[in-house]
Amino acid sequence: MKRLLVTGGAGFIGSNFVHYWIDNYPEDTVIVLDALTYAGNIENLNPVKDNPSFKFYQGDICDSVLVEALLKEHQIDTLVHFAAESHVDRSISGPDAFIQTNIIGTHSLLKAAKKIWLDEGVNKETHRFHHVSTDEVYGTLEPEDPAFCESTPYAPNSPYAASKAASDHLVRAYHHTYGLRVTTSNCSNNYGPYHFPEKLIPLVVTNILRDLPLPIYGDGKQIRDWLYVEDHARGIDLVIKKGRLGDCYNIGGVNEWANIDIVHFICELMNNLFIENPKFADKYPQAISAIAGKSQELITYVQDRVGHDRRYAINPKKSSSELGYMPLESFETGIRKTLRWYLKNDSWWGAVMDGSYRKWIEKQYSSSRQG
Ligand code: NAD
Ligand code: TYD
């Protein structure tokens, strides 16, 4: 039986991971530590909130006194670290929070883990620090370049990617120098339920439902490798179970799409959902274009992101051969599940859009973005 501390467990991937873990390992204890920034939402944990082996703490990963107390009080043996500032556009307009949480915060967690697990000897031989990172640390690919593998040199381009790269190096160093039992996973773009609607897929879905423009940065031909979030949770589970200490594993979706193609595909699916289910028109009367089967008309090309990476793609060879990992969800099945989730959960994303995020996005769009 494991005793987990999950940082950032009220965010998109962290909350999906907590649901996955409690469903699959009901005998384990899961403690969530989350600062509830604009991206964190306690409602993301509603499906597990009454579970007796689950507990939530609101707090900052930089608060080492709190982290040390949690590690000790709950006899934590496995720390899964998701907490981060995660949106590239925000890292361009305000990098400081990324340095603070992603670098200082990760270091603070590593220090606390070293103190309790190594210096004080609690779970000395059995602990695990699993760090969740991104493929963006590898930089950008040209169309014909081979996909990123674990030995691809780091070349981060955005402040977000650079802050994640720094945190990856610190995790590695704590293994090499102090013997902390760490693993790292570098994963491609996730999608699925509870995805904050500032990222491409949930933004497009919720904008269709509100008949708002679907902003495409630049020429829309940038490529991402999309992974259903539950497959990511399974991948992390395998790394924790089978991954070699001190090692890194890439987790991808084997699913490369150009942004403009994905937006067209979502528009088409949404149009069809409205045609097949007349009740959606009653629920979303403002979705005028989708009701008319013309969501594509909302597509609006806008100014490109500064320093926009052209292509990300993950070579899944190491995680498939060493861990037996392959994504289970196809993009067609994963995206359908996702669209249905957003259609059903308008109260979730409606509340999210009304909060501080809305003020931020209005500021962004009133300045430079319209093209
Ligand atoms: P998210 O922005 O949805 O959630 C981040 C969570 O961390 C939020 O709940 C937030 O409240 C919490 N948090 C932020 N600062 C904190 C702090 N100082 N102390 C405690 N909690 C804090 O992010 P996500 O998309 O779920 O990403 C989770 C992790 O996965 C991140 O480390 C990210 O770099 C990585 N990742 C994300 C993707 C993706 O497609 N979303 C892809 C690869 C890797
Ligand atoms: P995003 O979801 O922000 O993830 P990341 O930047 O981490 O890959 O963006 C995915 C892609 O979609 C990226 O190439 C930027 C692009 N994009 C748009 O074209 N329009 C948008 O409104 C957003 C948010 C992203």
- Rounded Cα gap, residues 265 and 261, in angstroms: 6
Find all residues with CB under 8 Å of 35, minimum gap 6, and list them. 58, 59, 60, 61, 83
Q: Relative to the CA of 216, which ligand 2 atom is closest? A: 19
- Rounded Cα gap, residues 215 and 198, in angstroms: 11
pLDDT band at 366 (very low <50, low <70, confident <90, very high): low
Residue nearest to atom 22 of ligand 2 (CA): 215
> Does the Cβ of 11 fall within 6 Å of ligand 1?
yes
Catalytic residues, by residue number, are 135-136, 160
- Rounded Cα gap, residues 225 and 255, in angstroms: 5
Q: Tell me the one-letter amino acid at 276.
A: E
- Rounded Cα gap, residues 158 and 181, in angstroms: 29
Pick the CATH number of 3-196+226-254+309-329 from 1.10.150.530, 3.40.50.720, 3.40.50.11890, 3.30.420.270: 3.40.50.720
- Rounded Cα gap, residues 104 and 108, in angstroms: 6
Instruction: Convert the pLDDT of each residue in 206-239 to its tens digit.
Output: 999 999 999 999 999 999 999 999 999 999 999 9
Mean pLDDT of the chain: 96
Q: CA nearest 86: which of 209, 229, 214?
A: 229
Ligand at minimal distance from the CA of 195 is 1
Distance of CA 301 to the CA centre of its chain: 25
**Tokens coding 219:** 């020429």
Q: Is the pLDDT of residue 370 over 60?
A: no
- Rounded Cα gap, residues 323 and 335, in angstroms: 25
The rounded percent of the chain whose pLDDT value lies above 70 is 96
Q: CA nearest 225: which of 263, 253, 187, 250?
A: 253
Residue 365: the pLDDT is 63
Quick one: average pLDDT of 69-84? 98
Q: What's the CA-to-centroid distance between 172 and ligand 2, angstroms? A: 29
Residue nearest to atom 10 of ligand 1 (CA): 40
Residue nearest to atom 4 of ligand 2 (CA): 199
Instruction: Convert the pLDDT of each residue in 178-205 to its tens digit.
Output: 999 999 999 999 999 999 999 999 999 9
Ligand 1, pocket-test mutation among 16, 86, 90, 229, most atoms within 8 A of CB: 86
Q: CA nearest 343: which of 303, 284, 266?
A: 284
Q: Relative to the CA of 105, which ligand 1 atom is closest? A: 18
pLDDT band at 356 (very low <50, low <70, confident <90, very high): low
Q: Are the beta carbons of 194 and 342 closer than 8 angstroms?
A: no
Q: What's the CA-to-centroid distance between 84 and ligand 1, angstroms? A: 4
Q: Are the beta carbons of 128 and 247 closer than 8 angstroms?
A: no
Where along the chain do its domains lie? Answer: 3-196+226-254+309-329
Instruction: Convert the pLDDT of each residue in 286-332 to its tens digit.
Output: 999 999 999 999 999 999 999 999 999 999 999 999 999 999 999 99
DSSP labels, 152-168 = SPP---SHHHHHHHHHH
3-state SS record for 11-75: CHHHHHHHHHHHHHCCCCEEEEEECCCCCCCHHHHHHHCCCCCEEEEECCCCCHHHHHHHHHHCC
Quick one: average pLDDT of 50-59? 97
Residue 367: the pLDDT is 56
Ligand 2, pocket-test mutation among 133, 200, 232, 298, most atoms within 8 A of CB: 200
Instruction: Convert the pLDDT of each residue in 135-157 to its tens digit.
Output: 999 999 999 999 999 999 999 99
pLDDT band at 369 (very low <50, low <70, confident <90, very high): very low
Relative orientation angle of helices 106-113 and 64-73, to the nearest 10 degrees: 40
Ligand at minimal distance from the CA of 307 is 2
Pocket of ligand 2 (CB under 6 A): 88, 189, 199-200, 203, 215-217, 222, 224, 259, 305
Q: Relative to the CA of 187, which ligand 1 atom is closest? A: 43
pTM value surpassing 0.95: yes
Ligand 1, pocket-test mutation among 5, 6, 7, 13, most atoms within 8 A of CB: 13
